[in-house]
Structure 1
Amino acid sequence: MAAKALLLLALVSLFLGLAAADWSILNQKYWRNNNNAKAADTLKSYCESWRMNVELHNIREFQVVPQECVDYIKKYMTGSQYTADSERAIEEVKLYLTSCCSLQNDGKDAWIFDVDDTLLSTVPYFKKHGFGGQKLNLTSLEAWMEECKAPALEPTLKLFNELKDKGIKIFLVSSRRETLRSATVDNLISAGYHGWSSLILRGLDDEYLQMQQFKSEARKKLVDQGYRIWGIIGDQWSSLKGPPKPNRAFKLPNSIYYL
């Protein structure tokens, strides 16, 4: 009898616990069965929090966007807020440039750009491939890159030209493989980018390197050549972290994938 009583008490406690926390953010059945404004607002808040913590680099090395947040990320990346956030980041770069740099005009003042989702947008690709809800298929993505259809991110294109007009040497350091060089150059030119000093891609010897290590080593080679790196702009933390550090690093938003 005592055992039955304890079992009943445990079941009651479990039921009350579930009732007190009557939903889980990961419980898809809850969202299907509770299509109300409060539930929608809570899910939106959760997904915005997830996205923000990706940008803050608290969430790292994720392979897919949480399924319940895919629609939210899609709306963000194709909507006005993504554009506004990108424009705001570029405005901060321009504000920094008003007072940051004692340019020597000796050909050694430098700036580094990432390529994908910094100069060129992969959003058209992810519109057809799940907006991060599917594990990244590199073969499929590279086949799309070969088509040279990625559009420019307009705020970054304007910044690119302003830096070039100031006499700053522009270096592009990308996670793309060396086999994509021709397609990348063609796509950059067709999107309006001209006059960069060097495009650094991953060769066969770089395949074993972690992304941050590859980009750090690329920066070190430039510093060893005497370049003063006044800034970096990219959409991935691996583009910005690690030595040698520039004067400033600026991150553009991207919650679709992590490199």
Structure 2
Amino acid sequence: MAVVPEWSRQRGFGIRVEWGRAGAAALGGDAGCLVVIDVLSFTTSVSVATGAGTAVFPYRWRDGSARAFADEHGAALAVGRRESGPWSLSPAAIRRAPFTERLVLPSPNGSAIAASVSGTPVVAACLRNVDAVADRLVAAGWGTPEQPIAIVAAGEQWPGTETVRPALEDWLGAGALVAALIDRGLATPSPEARTAASAFDAKSDVAALITESASGRELAANGFADDVAIAVEVNADSTVPVLTDGAFVDRAGQLGGVTR
């Protein structure tokens, strides 16, 4: 997005929600922090990895320089779900893989968004850590119209294109975080944020909704039902992965660092 239209920035609201890289560009420039949500791949993988003590470097998808970048940072390089390797864009695979201190984790959606942001603190959220993230965002003083929280639902891509496919799991993840922030007293969500929060109902069977969604069925059909099962474990961990010196590390105790 070369020029960000003023109407797209959701100004005047303390919690803002958008989709994909274009949404990150629209909301991130004046945000107190930007929260990336990619429930069925990147941010759930980040929560699993950082919970085990691994620093996770986001990187562009299908970029031939990823190997050199990993070597430069003394990091292992994750591959796509269907590729061979101990580390991949799969929460279940990361959980099974040998421990590595550093991991470069490219993805077409969440990782690409995180890698594209500059000058704004970036947090990785998913259903597994939604309460922990909400607690730390509120403690940091973000969520006001002057220091807004920009929540970016990564979405998926339609096959064979780079067009964002709005994905139910990321909308529910964004809604869960907005709802948690409102419960903690933040009172100025944008209409987009309010609508996301209303879509998330803690009393509904979120696990069943995501498992039966298009994205859930796609993963199950390709042999990755375990990834879905891990992703729908709401508040299963307390990690708050913050992009610090280029890598996501768990900052549950404090929020600090920016994207570079």
Same fold per TM (> 0.5)?
Answer: no
* Structure of greater relative contact order (alpha carbons < 8 Å, 6+ residues apart): 2
Bigger-Rg structure (1/2): 1
Higher helix content, 1 or 2? 1
TM-score (norm 2): 0.32
